[in-house]
């Protein structure tokens, strides 16, 4: 299965050694984004991947395209126009100090100013079986919304599978009313086959309500099934994060039309959690592409998400062998 994505390539700037911006004159530069993270991880799993987006028509855009190729992502559908790339500073947290992300220049980036006429979607869709659309495209600009809807409509008409990640960011929607954003998501969801999200996405964003007459363990599954039925979604996936005895744990869940699986919780050792959710999503998409049983998919995806927390940077560069080793031999910490 050929897997592709539509989304923004961003430049991440990270101070070294857990320093804050006031403490450094050095920054590490990486190119990232939700689609980039997922596709690069799938490429490391052996899948054919491609990205459709726009980058600046300058040296920065050329460097970003080179990074995509290095990550194993085809750059055939990456265009170049405009002068700017969306970027963010990532000040890595330590102990009780949380990681701080500061975005800049996203609305005027080459991706942010590109509408549906800026992309050869028809030709692109001939080259893919499943396309991932990041929900952030619904938050940025009128142009990115128009492009996302156009791609979804064309892909659905051609019978292509569509994966959609809620990825709702309040910090990107300070000028958008909640009712307006609900309309955008309600317009997108009927086209989608696989959706990544959380209970908060369904209740706070879509306005769905939990059935309080049910027992607590039954409330979330019942809510998800109503959501899936409303929008004819084939699979719904996400993660639960919990804390116990000062330790953090991750457990993935995965719903299909007639089945629900939740993985055993795994302890998180957190080096860099930015992009770790994309590691989980890549695991789910691998299982979907290869028609794995739901239980195998959710266990693999959870293990991959946990490993993603241990890798510096957004991009989870794990391999199948590394994930399977962690699942089979969790106590082995040295491989020779």
- Please, what's the largest Cα pairwise distance for the chain? 59
Q: Is it the case that residue 163 has pLDDT exceeding 90?
A: yes
Contact by Cβ (8 Å): 317, 40:
yes
What is the model's pLDDT at position 134?
Answer: 94
Confidence grade of residue 170 (pLDDT, cut at 50, 70, 90): confident
pLDDT at 221 exceeding the cut of 90: yes
d(CA 292, CA 1): 13
pLDDT at res. 330: 85
Count up the domains in the chain and report the number: 1
Query: 């984004």: which residue's tokens?
Result: 33
Whether residue 335 has pLDDT greater than 90: no
Report yes or no on 22 lying in a domain: no
| Alpha-carbon separation of residue 186 from 6, 103, 192, 205, 216 (angstroms) | 19, 26, 11, 10, 27
Q: Residue 209 corresponds to which tokens in the numbers above?
A: 């309500």
d(CA 257, CA 232): 9
For the segment 15-25, the average pLDDT, to the nearest whole number, is 96
Average pLDDT, integer, range 220-249: 96
Band (pLDDT 50/70/90 cuts) for residue 177 is: confident
The mean pLDDT of 269-290, rounded to a whole number, is 94
In a domain, 238, yes or no: yes
Model confidence at 166, pLDDT cuts 50, 70, 90, reads very high
Q: Is the pTM of this model over 0.85?
A: yes
Q: With respect to residue 81, please indicate whether it lies within any of the assigned structural domains.
A: no
Tell whether 58 is covered by a domain: no
pLDDT digits (tens, 9 = 90+) for 41-98: 999 999 999 999 999 999 999 999 999 999 999 999 999 999 999 999 999 999 899 9
Q: What is the distance between the alpha carbons of residues 274 and 257, in angstroms, rounded to a whole number?
A: 30
Domain membership of residue 104 (yes or no) is no
Q: Once rounded to an integer, what is the mean pLDDT over residues 128-150? A: 97
pLDDT band at 334 (very low <50, low <70, confident <90, very high): confident
The parent domain of residue 166 ranges over 3-7+37-53+116-328
pLDDT at 257 over 90: no
User: pLDDT per residue over 281-318, tens digit each?
Assistant: 999 999 999 999 999 999 999 999 999 999 999 999 99
Whether residue 168 lies inside any domain: the answer is yes
Q: What's the pLDDT at 238?
A: 97
For residue 126, being part of any structural domain is answered with yes
Has residue 205 got a pLDDT over 90?
yes
For the chain, give the mean pLDDT. Answer: 95
48: CATH: 3.40.1190.20
pLDDT at 52 (0 to 100): 98
Q: What is the pLDDT of residue 240?
A: 96
- Is the backbone of residue 39 left (phi > 0), alpha (psi -120 to 50) or beta? alpha
Let me know if residue 124 belongs to a domain: yes
pLDDT at 258: 84
**What's residue 160's pLDDT?**
98
What residue has token string 């209970």? Answer: 199
């Amino acid at each position: 299965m050929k897997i592709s994505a539509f989304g923004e390539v961003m430049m991440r700037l990270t101070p070294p050694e857990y320093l804050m911006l006031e403490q450094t004159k050095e920054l590490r530069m990486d190119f990232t984004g939700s689609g980039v993270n997922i596709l690069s991880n799938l490429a490391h799993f052996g899948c054919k991947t491609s990205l459709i987006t726009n980058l600046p028509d300058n040296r920065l855009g050329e460097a970003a395209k080179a990074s995509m190729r290095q990550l194993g992502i085809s750059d055939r559908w990456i265009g170049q126009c405009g002068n700017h790339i969306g970027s963010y500073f990532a000040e890595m947290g330590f102990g009780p100090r949380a990681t701080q992300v500061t975005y800049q220049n996203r609305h005027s980036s080459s991706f942010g100013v590109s509408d549906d006429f800026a992309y050869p979607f028809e030709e692109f869709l001939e080259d893919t079986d499943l396309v991932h659309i990041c929900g952030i495209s619904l938050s940025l600009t009128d142009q990115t919304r128009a492009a996302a809807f156009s791609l979804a409509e064309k892909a659905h008409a051609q019978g292509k599978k569509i994966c959609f990640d809620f990825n709702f960011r309040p910090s990107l929607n300070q000028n958008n009313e909640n009712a307006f954003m609900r309309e955008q998501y309600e317009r997108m969801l009927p086209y989608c086959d696989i959706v990544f999200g959380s209970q908060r996405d369904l209740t706070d964003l879509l306005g769905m309500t939990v059935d309080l007459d049910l027992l607590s363990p039954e409330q979330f599954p019942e809510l998800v099934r109503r959501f899936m039925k409303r929008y004819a979604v084939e699979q719904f996936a996400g993660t639960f994060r919990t804390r116990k005895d000062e330790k953090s744990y991750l457990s993935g869940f995965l719903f299909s039309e007639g089945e629900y699986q939740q993985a055993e919780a795994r302890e998180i050792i957190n080096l860099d959690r930015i992009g770790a959710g994309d590691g989980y999503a890549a695991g789910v998409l691998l299982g979907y592409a290869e028609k794995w049983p739901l239980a195998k998919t959710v266990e693999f995806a959870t293990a991959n998400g946990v490993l993603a927390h241990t890798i510096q940077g957004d991009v989870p560069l794990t391999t199948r062998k590394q994930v399977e080793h962690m699942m089979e031999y969790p106590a082995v910490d040295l491989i020779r």
